[in-house]
Amino acid sequence: MNRYRKITGILGPGLLLASTSIGTSHLVLSTRAGAHYGMVFFLIILCTLILKYPLFEFGPRYTAATGKSLLHGYGKQGKWAIWLFVLIMVLDMFAVTGAITAVCAGLLTSTIDLNISVTLLSALILLITTVLLGFGRYRGLDYIIKGISILLLLSLLVAFIATLIYGPNIPLPEHGWHVSDLSTGTGLALTIGLIGFMPTGLEVSTLHSIWSEEQIKVLGRRPTLKEALFDFKVGYAFTIITGLMFAMIGAYVVYGSGQRLEGNSTEFSISLLEIFTKRVGAWLYPILAIAAFGTIYGTLVSIMDGFSRGFISGFQALRSNQQQDGKPFLSFLPVLIIQALGGFLMLTFFKGGMVKILDLVTILVFLTAPIIGFLNLRVIQSDEVPHSFRPSLALTTMAYIGNVAMLIIAVYYLLDLV
């Protein structure tokens, strides 16, 4: 029992990383990739997750070594690095919050007969989440995410096993490898989005280190490197497994059916649930609905907490961390409220579909990812990190390969736009 409590006590930032990841990139993008292009994206997702592993792992490694977040290391590279991070936070905290909230509301209205508009329901979701995070802070966030993770894993496993039992619409040898479809247009945009947001935007590696800082305050001690990496690996393994599961569900259930997953949040949600239950059976509808809502709401909770903390930490780093009276320059609750209001305005007044919002944000995140990757490499190899905490040569080499690959694809995408 003591060993179990010790393990569950260490788990936290890694699960938050996983919860942040599996909403946009997994449920929406992975499922849509499998649904529209078959199994070709299975390998793209797997390779992306492997190559980006070191760049995310440097976050908990740095905090275990120094007790500080990656932002502290960014500051030593120049204020421009912190300004870049703050800019990404501003782009993320409104657009992503609005898109994810819209998906949450769309899922609820499509699964439960609620006599309420999607706009009002979105406002209620944001209000409840703001209250939970505003008063529960990190400890409350930790409990919420652990509960959602267990519920999500169980429901998704049932849905995935049912998918495998019923098999694909088209036999696997006939799924095709439409690489040419991915080189331009919609296929290229989806590929860029998946690579940029799989498992999530690379700026979340910084949020992971900020959550690790908060965990140190809650635990009253700094986790060892072994403990920090164990927590990270559990969370990252969760993102790999769920990402591949959602891609296979899309490929097996939707691909070859003649239907597509497009439109706004409600249309996307209804299409996915209806196609799935028609293919597998109505008995699985509530289970898939729970898995989908758990996925998206877990992401909403994580990003609302993470983006607010990231924005605050960024400005504190720019303003020498604190004012003269010892109080933080920005406090958590007001920033959280501003994020909720900005997200609500985004989902209310944006005229396009939910998928278009996510495509735009994922592309912007992807184009800045090589810069964040470069900063993470610089920071983890800096003099303030003891040699015993630094990554191995193999891990560092893999990080360089992954970062160069992201840079090449980003340049290719920009040239394709010209």
* Alpha carbon distance 191, 95 (integer Å): 20
Q: DSSP letters along 187-198, please?
A: HHHHHHHHHHTS
- Answer with the residue of higher pLDDT: 378 or 174: 378
* Alpha carbon distance 134, 129 (integer Å): 8
- Domain encompassing residue 199: 2-417
Angle between helices 354-380 and 40-66 (to 10 degrees): 50
1-22 as b/e, with b when 16 or more CB fall inside 10 Å? eeeeeeeeebbbbbbbbbbbbb
Mean pLDDT of 8-20: 76
> What is the per-residue pLDDT for 405?
87
Q: Which amino acid is at 256?
A: G
CA-to-CA separations, 329 to 85, 323, 324, in angstroms, rounded? 17, 6, 10
Question: Which pLDDT band holds residue 60 (cuts at 50, 70, 90)?
Answer: very high
CA-to-CA separations, 418 to 186, 244, 315, 338, 370, in angstroms, rounded? 16, 33, 35, 36, 20
- Answer with the residue of higher pLDDT: 293 or 208: 208
- 170 in helix, strand or coil? coil
Q: How many CB atoms lie within 10 A of CB 293?
A: 23
CA-to-CA separations, 138 to 124, 135, 307, in angstroms, rounded? 22, 9, 13
119-137 residue pLDDT tens: 888 999 999 999 888 877 6
Question: Which pLDDT band holds residue 321 (cuts at 50, 70, 90)?
Answer: very low
Which token pair is 254? Answer: 């939707």
CATH number at residue 42: 1.20.1740.10
How many domains is the chain partitioned into structurally? 1
- Answer with the residue of higher pLDDT: 297 or 233: 233
Outline where 112-198 has alpha helix (H): 118-166, 185-196
Which token pair is 53? Answer: 């592993």
Please count the CA atoms within 13 angstroms of the CA of 364 that sit on its side-chain side: 16
Is the confidence at residue 225, as pLDDT, over 70?
Answer: yes
Is the confidence at residue 360, as pLDDT, over 70?
Answer: no
Is the confidence at residue 6, as pLDDT, over 60?
Answer: no
- Answer with the residue of higher pLDDT: 58 or 197: 58
Question: Which pLDDT band holds residue 316 (cuts at 50, 70, 90)?
Answer: confident
Please count the CA atoms within 13 angstroms of the CA of 145 that sit on its side-chain side: 33
- Answer with the residue of higher pLDDT: 353 or 118: 118
Q: In the predicted model, what is the mean pLDDT of the chain?
A: 80
CA 211-198-318 angle, 5° bins:
40
Mean pLDDT of 265-293: 73
Question: Which pLDDT band holds residue 191 (cuts at 50, 70, 90)?
Answer: confident
* Alpha carbon distance 373, 49 (integer Å): 14
Is the confidence at residue 178, as pLDDT, over 80?
Answer: no
Could you tell me if 206 and 85 are in contact, meaning their C-beta atoms sit under 8 angstroms apart? Answer: yes
* Alpha carbon distance 383, 318 (integer Å): 22
